[in-house]
Amino acid sequence: MAKQWRARVYVGAALAVGSEVALNAAHTHHLRNVLRLGPGAPVAAFNPADGEWLCRIGAGANSAMSLICEHRLREPASETALWLLFAPIRRSRLDWLIEKATELGVTHLAPVLTRHTQPERFNLARLEALAIAAAEQSERLSIPQLHPPRPLDALLVDWPREARLIVCDETGAGIPIAAALAQFGAGPAALLIGPEGGFSHSELDYLSEFSFVTRAGLGPRVLRAETAALAALSVYQAIAGDWRMSRPR
C-alpha cells in the first residue's frame, strides 16, 4: 500500500487509538509553514514504545498543532544496543556525524575525552534535535540517546563487560575490522573512534588491558574521524548488525 502521508514526526507522548498529541513549535512550524498542511492532513507519528501511527492534524489549531491517532502502522521493534564512542570534532563535521550515525542505527552516542581531544563546546540539546530529524527522515522508530562527554579512562572503568568494544586503531596494530566482526555473536557492541590526532600509545596500551576490547584497523588509508566512524558503522551493520535484515515493506 502506498504511503498516505507526507510528514513523519517523533513524539514523546503515548500513542493510542483516538488519543490527541500536542506538537512542539518546531514540528508545528514545519507542518504548517513548510509543508503547508492543515487540519485533517495525514501525518505519521512514532516513538520506540508505541511504534508508528497514522494520525490526522486536529481541527482548530491556530497556534500549536495537535495530532489525532487513528491506527498503528508499525509495531514497536526491539533494538540491540550499538554505541558510537567518539572524540568531539569541529561543529560542522560533528553535526554531519550525528545525522549519519542516526541513519545507520546507532542507539547511543557518547563523546569521549582523550589525550589529544581538541576542546569543543558540546550542545546536547542541539545535537538531539539533529538526531530526531535524522530519525524522522530515515524511518527508524527510535532516537539515539546522547550522553555527556566523559574521559576515556572513566568510561572504561564503568563499561558493561558483556558489550564488546571495537577500537578503531589507525596505527596498523589492529586486526582488519571485517575479521574482528566475524568473531562477534549477538549482543550489545560499541565502536570507539579516536580524535584527529589519534590515540596516544599509552591510551592504546590501556585499552588493550581490557578483555572486552578488540583493536581493529580500517584499511591501508588514514581516515578523518567522521569518515572512520561511518566506515566502521557500515562494516559493523553489514557483518554483525541489522543490515543482515530486510527493510520492512
Whole-model pTM over 0.75: yes
Q: Is the pLDDT of residue 163 over 80?
A: yes
Domain ranges of the chain: 7-74, 82-244
The residue type of 52 is E
pLDDT, tens only, 169-199:
988 889 999 999 998 878 899 999 999 888 9
When pLDDT is cut at 50, 70 and 90, the band that residue 67 belongs to is very high
pLDDT score, position 54 = 97
When pLDDT is cut at 50, 70 and 90, the band that residue 61 belongs to is low
Question: What does the CA dihedral 136, 239, 107, 56 come to, rounded to 10 degrees?
Answer: 20
Phi-psi region of 186 (alpha: psi -120 to 50; beta: other; left: phi over 0): beta
Residue 188 CB coordination number (10 Å): 16
pLDDT score, position 4 = 65
Strand pairing report for 42-47 and 7-10: parallel
Phi/psi of residue 197, nearest 5 degrees: -85, 0
Q: What is the CATH number of domain 82-244?
A: 3.40.1280.10
- Grid cell, residue 144, equals 539515539
Phi-psi region of 232 (alpha: psi -120 to 50; beta: other; left: phi over 0): alpha
Helix pair angle (124-138, 91-103), 10° resolution: 40
When pLDDT is cut at 50, 70 and 90, the band that residue 117 belongs to is confident
pLDDT score, position 101 = 98
CATH superfamily label, 7-74: Hypothetical PUA domain-like; domain 1 (2.40.240.20)
Give the containing element (helix H, strand E) for 69: strand 66-74
Q: Is the pLDDT of residue 1 over 70?
A: no
d(CA 126, CA 155): 23
